[in-house]
Amino acid sequence: MSTNKNYLKYPHRSLGMDHSLYKWSMLDDRPPIQWPNGKKLALWINISLQFFPLNQQNKPFPVPGGMTMPYPDLRHYTLRDYGNRIGIYRFFDALDQYGMQSSIAMNTLVAKRYPYLLNKVIERGHEIICHGDHMDALHYGGQPIEEEAALVQKSLDELRQLSGQPVKGWISPAKNESHNTPQLLAANGIEYFCDWVNDDMPYEFYTDEGVLTAMPLSTELEDKFILMNNLHSESSYKDQIIDACDFLLEEASTKGGRILALNLHPWLLGQPHRIHILEQVFEYLSSKKDIWSANPMEIVRVFKS
Amino acid sequence: MKQDLGLYDYWPYENRPKIRWPGGAKLAFWVAPNIEYYELDPPQNPFRTAWPQPIPAIPGYSIRDYGNRVGHVRQMQLLNKYGIRGSVSLSTALCDHHPEIIKQCRDLDWEFFSHGIYNTRYTYGMTEDQEREMIRDSIESIFKHTNQKCAGYLAPALSHSELTLDLFAEVGTELFGNDAGIYTCDLFHDDQPTPIHLRSKKRFVSIPYSLEMNDTIAYVSNKIEPRRYGQILKDNFDQLYKEGDNSGTVMCIPTHNYQISCPHRMKSYEEALEYITGHSDVWVTTGREIAEYYLEHYYDDAVRDIAGKQECKS
């Protein structure tokens, strides 16, 4: 087999990106952002509340963290469900102990299945982000646009109705998208989305239905990535957050406001042998006077102002 | 397919002719930042698929873009702080996409070598003519945008053919004589430079570009914790520095701005750079400088020594 004759043709080889979704721009070249009250580092904690269905369809791929065993894979199903029953309540306590805010990215099906939990989230005043319908409802290249449009609309309409919140943020399951996802989100009233990990600061993302704000929610610093993908120790997770925090604070002192974005999964860090690590992370972060514990919509507002 | 490409001869790591780097240095240290461009929607290669998900593969594409948008300046400023000139392994289409990055590196007198056009265009399945054209395009791009005559090669995404090194050396000669196409980073068989057999008989060397120290291999393949990676860099240096008493060694740190420049990985990297450059008798240098110095001072001795060791004599 050999490559075809077009293999050395480069239709997008020109200034800027190889697409028109956003502008090429180096972070270092942008004007510095000032956070409220002169803080250097916005701390954005996001907690992902996820539902992994037992009858996983794997369309078009098995969602990371999902079922891996023959049906019924009760070990993974229940271990994920643990987060919504147990882990999240440990998270709430830890947040309160250290005076931290957090957004909560929720599969719409979690809101539907667990009204008690939804109500608790609302009462506590968390900003709710839509995390798609459920973890196996993937958005993907090649998905028929009508199918995806219906999925986006249903996920958002139901979550807004159940929560009473406007729901302006979005994280796709597995942070996976089709070419159509951003425009469908914009058409359905989403202001910011968090799937693209190409920046440490917000930037403008263009769609046929208007401009979205791309919010930087690091995958590399996720508990799931570090503990489950990389199999690093819990203490290394803490070290990595501390090193990132110190580095960003230092960078912010000369280059303007930065964001430390931590995406957390209660089915993982909410385990009894891990929760103390999260508490130690919170303790460290709360000891820094230059940190602003912020909700994503607050960050978006500063970025847009 | 062949059992072995015959690129180099067996050469035991004892009793080799002694190397001393400029100034009597024991260890030549170089850092090779890969500055790459990955395409969102590359053409399909018959042997290797660029992305694990259907296009658009946002997770993989976007973190690589992070390297250029955010990471590059971080690593560049860090290397500059420790007096290190990067030897850039360049996806040469980046000259067209992101000329700002090229200019910043040029302003610091960094070196550029070819890493193909895009890191999503693999050598697998190319005809000899196609591979030659791709390599020529990359060397010409580097010259056009930096005025440098490309000395080194690292095949795009480490995708090779049987002829990769031959073609790189030949195109280098055609364009710039012995100023271009003189070393490869594609081989990981040694901790010192080694002469490479080419069909053209050109004087050409392999320069150690450690896969084990490569941040992406460390972080993505071997899943090493960041602080441990910093320790591994120091341990690697300590051993090569010690052995450098006998004969000069080479240490390379190949990096990627989408890995090493993430906020949680910068501290351990900086500590390692500070440690290494804090030693005396370390030649902080570039790929081309190592290759040229070796070709001028040690290549001929090495060829003779290797020839003498092909028979069983202890």
Interface test mutation site (partner A, options B96, B101, B264, max chain A beta carbons within 10 A): B264
DSSP state of A219: S
Size of interface A-B (CB pairs under 8 A): 163
pLDDT tens-digit series, residues B100-148: 999 999 999 999 999 999 999 999 999 999 999 999 999 999 999 999 9
Q: Which two tokens stand for residue A55?
A: 């009858």
pLDDT of residue B313: 58
Q: Please check whether residue A134 is in contact with residue A108, taking contact to mean a CB–CB distance below 8 angstroms.
A: yes
Is B97 close to A15, i.e. CB distance below 8 A?
Answer: yes
Is B53 close to A141, i.e. CB distance below 8 A?
Answer: yes
Q: Does A161 touch chain B (CB under 8 A)?
A: no
* CA A261 – CA B146 distance, rounded (Å): 38
Q: Does an H or E element contain A224, and which?
A: none
Cβ neighbours, 10 Å, residue B314: 4
DSSP code per residue over B143-200: HHHH-----EE--GGG---TTHHHHHHHHHHHHHGGGSS-EE----S-SS-EE---TT
Q: Does A25 touch chain B (CB under 8 A)?
A: yes
Residue B90's contacts (CB-CB under 8 Å, 6 or more residues apart) are: B34, B35, B36, B112, B113, B114, B115, B138, B142
Identity of the residue in A176, A196, A240 whose CB atom sits nearest the CB atom of B226: A240
pLDDT tens-digit series, residues B244-290: 999 999 999 999 999 999 999 999 999 999 999 999 999 999 999 99
Q: Does A195 touch chain B (CB under 8 A)?
A: yes
pLDDT tens-digit series, residues A86-95: 999 999 999 9
pLDDT of residue A3: 84
Identity of the residue in B66, B96, B97 whose CB atom sits nearest the CB atom of A197: B66
CA distances from A79 to A50, A91, A270, A294 (A): 11, 16, 11, 30
How close B199 comes to chain A (CA, Å)? 23
Instruction: Give percent of chain B with pLDDT exceeding 90.
Output: 99
Searching chain B, which residue's CA lies closest to the CA of residue A196? B62
Smallest Cα–Cα separation from B250: which of B9, B8, B29, B12?
Answer: B29
pLDDT of residue A132: 98
pLDDT tens-digit series, residues A180-195: 999 999 999 999 999 9
Is A236 close to B227, i.e. CB distance below 8 A?
Answer: yes
Residues of chain A positioned with their CB less than 8 A from the CB of B42? none
Task: List the 232-261 stretch of A: residues with Cβ below 8 A of B.
Answer: 232-233, 236, 239-241, 243-248, 251, 260
pLDDT of residue A4: 82
Instruction: Give percent of chain B with pLDDT exceeding 70.
Output: 99
Residue A210 has pLDDT above 60, yes or no: yes
Task: List the 118-147 stretch of A: residues with Cβ below 8 A of B.
Answer: 140-142
Residue B314 has pLDDT above 70, yes or no: no
From the DSSP assignment, how many helices (H) and strands (E) are in chain B? 11, 9
As a whole number, mean pLDDT of residues B180-209 equals 98
Q: How confident is the model at residue B312 (pLDDT cuts 50, 70, 90)?
A: confident
How close B279 comes to chain A (CA, Å)? 25
ipTM of this complex: 0.97
Q: Which two tokens stand for residue B299?
A: 């290549």
Q: Please check whether residue A271 is in contact with residue A55, taking contact to mean a CB–CB distance below 8 angstroms.
A: no
Q: Which residue has the tokens 């406001």?
A: A257
Q: How confident is the model at residue A1 (pLDDT cuts 50, 70, 90)?
A: confident
* CA A258 – CA A41 distance, rounded (Å): 5
